[in-house]
Amino acid sequence: MQNICFVCEGNTCRSPFAEKVMNKYLKQNKISDFKCYSCGLNVDKNSNINNFVVEILKKYKINVKSRKPKQLTKTLTKKYDLFITMTKSQKQYINAKNVFSFGEMVFGDDIEDPYGGTMEDYINMTNQVDLYCKKLIEKIKLVKERLS
């Protein structure tokens, strides 16, 4: 099992959205040897998953009523096989091997934080993450095909 951890700042919108959508796409593509998780670099323990993200996830038939953010810790850096950050600058804060930004993984741009923005800002972010998840699924399928 390969454990992928998506990482953003507060673990309330970008990384939990990537985690949920990527796990859905892995299941749809019958890829059972990967599992996704998410954490934040600077988590407010009193926060929760963003309400806009909860609404957008419903369109994916993913129901999340409540999800407390998880702080990335030294212990957790040993648990995951691959870290995917939302921006290139976030990589420097993770003391682990196999750390890439999502944009680097799929030859795209950073995924900027929509925090404090409008629903449209969150929709734009989730559209970008969705596209990157689809591209990552295709890469995984290609590697698995070449290895078999």
> How many domains does the chain contain in total?
1
Per-residue pLDDT tens for 57-89?
A: 999 999 998 889 999 999 999 999 999 999 999
Predicted TM-score of the model (pTM): 0.96
Q: What is the pLDDT of residue 50?
A: 96
Largest CA distance in the chain: 46
Per-residue pLDDT tens for 24-43?
A: 999 999 999 999 999 999 99
pLDDT at 147 over 90: no
What range does the domain containing 104 cover?
2-147
Q: What is the pLDDT of residue 67?
A: 87
Buried b (16+ CB within 10 A) or exposed e, 104-134: eebeeebbebbeeeeeebbbebbebbbebbe
- The pLDDT mean for the chain works out to 96
Per-residue pLDDT tens for 94-106?
A: 988 899 999 999 9
pLDDT, average across residues 2-9: 97
Domain of residue 110, CATH code: 3.40.50.2300
Q: What is the pLDDT of residue 91?
A: 96
SS3 of 7-24: the string is: EECCCCCHHHHHHHHHHH
- Show the tokens assigned to 6: 């998506």
Whole-number Å distance between alpha carbons of 38 and 113: 15
pLDDT at 52 over 90: yes
